[in-house]
Amino acid sequence: MTSAQIFVGIDVSKAQLDIALRPEGRFAASNDDAGFAQVLERLRGAPPTLVVLEATGGLEIPITGILAAAGVPVVVVNPRQVRDFAKATGRLAKTDALDAQTLAHFAEVLRPKLRPLPDEQTQALAAILARRRQLVEMLTAEKNRLGSALKPVRTSLRTHITWLERELQHTNTNLADAIRQSPVWREKDDLLQSVPGIGPVVTSTLLANLPELGTLTGKQIAALVGVAPLNRDSGTWRGKRTVWGGRAQVRAVLYMATLVAARFNPVIQAFYQRLCAAGKAKKVALTACMRKLLTILNAMMKHRTRWDHTTHQAGAVRNGRLSPSSGGYPATDGLAIVDLRPMLCEQFLRHEAKHQ
């Protein structure tokens, strides 16, 4: 006779952990070392099939790490998915105890896949990156205030701006040191920064917030970041394809990198210009370039190869209609020229079909 499977949901708040078990059972513990020990003791008595928590601004990290270190299968999921699941099951009320029950039910029904948790180094890098984002936001806000500030507060604003700039410089140094201390990160950083348009902020963000880079397919990594166009169709109606969801921090730095790459990266530049020439809106073209750049970075990480413009231009012969370096055109010493013949043939065939 097989024992019943047990699924656990843990709702984390600042002071307390609410734990629900399915098929039955629930208890609460304090969100400290004593509470963590109590949770482990209870779960060792009835080993769970899966434990699910939702991301709670970092409050979930200590208990998640302790459970993972003890060999308990634990997954941290997106709160939006859990809330949508609760609404789909008709549960509209929301308390900490109910949220724990919903998480346990979510674990039992959907069985989210176990994912490797970030190690201590990755968590430290992510913390430094988060602090850098906070400093940049505060610095931008203070500079905006300075523009319209009255004389009595300008000195205070300038002093604070000077301090923020000094802290930002210090944080950038810590970020670079954290990457240099890891041989694996140094190698990945070197690979990524070989691409025109990719700088240290982008590589740090990818290393900390996108550890899946190089392990997924191009379509999967695009969907994970939130740059994959999603269908919106119903019956005969065809809606506009839009992108949404995904990892906002990664998407933000990828957008800035694409702006640079659209000017200085020959492959992305040619792709962007072709889309604009085809009548695509500039933001749509930039989003497509974001996906293309991400796909290139994913392939480079997967195969551990540095950027080679000739290799990627060969791919652009198929996708971006750049001139081939052999088979019809002489070598161009790495310079891309536009091959108009495929485009003209395509237009001719359309014209013939239209007037038949």
pLDDT tens-digit readout, 91-136: 999 999 999 999 999 999 999 988 877 888 888 898 999 999 999 9
Kindly state the average pLDDT of the residues 303-309: 86
Contacts 24+ apart (CB under 8 A), 284-292: 286/255, 286/258, 286/259, 286/262, 287/227, 287/243, 289/258, 289/261, 289/262, 290/227, 290/251, 290/254, 290/255, 290/258, 291/222, 291/227, 291/228, 292/267, 292/268
Q: Between these two residues, 85 and 236, which has the higher pLDDT value?
A: 85
Kindly state the average pLDDT of the residues 27-50: 92
So what's the pLDDT on residue 336?
41
So what's the pLDDT on residue 303?
92
CATH 3.30.420.40 for domain 7-110:
yes
Check whether 39 has a pLDDT greater than 50: yes
Average per-residue pLDDT for the chain: 86
So what's the pLDDT on residue 115?
82
Check whether 276 has a pLDDT greater than 60: yes
So what's the pLDDT on residue 192?
94
Check whether 227 has a pLDDT greater than 70: yes
Amino acid at 136: V
Q: What pLDDT, in 10s, does the model give residues 126-171?
A: 899 999 999 999 999 999 999 899 999 999 999 999 999 999 999 9
Claim: this prediction has a pTM higher than 0.85: no
Q: What pLDDT, in 10s, does the model give residues 311-347?
A: 555 454 344 344 433 333 333 444 444 444 444 445 5
Locate the domains of the chain by residue range.
7-110, 119-181, 195-322
Q: What is the three-class DSSP state of 252?
A: helix
pLDDT band of residue 52 (cuts 50, 70, 90) is very high
So what's the pLDDT on residue 320?
39
Tokens 């843990």, residue?
10
Check whether 182 has a pLDDT greater than 80: yes
Local structure of residue 117 (DSSP, 8 states):
P
Alpha helices by DSSP H, listed for the chain, are 33-45, 61-69, 79-88, 96-110, 120-148, 151-180, 183-193, 200-209, 218-225, 248-264, 266-277, 282-303, 309-319, 341-354
In percent, how much of the chain has pLDDT > 70?
A: 86
So what's the pLDDT on residue 331?
39
pLDDT band of residue 198 (cuts 50, 70, 90) is very high
Kindly state the average pLDDT of the residues 46-70: 91
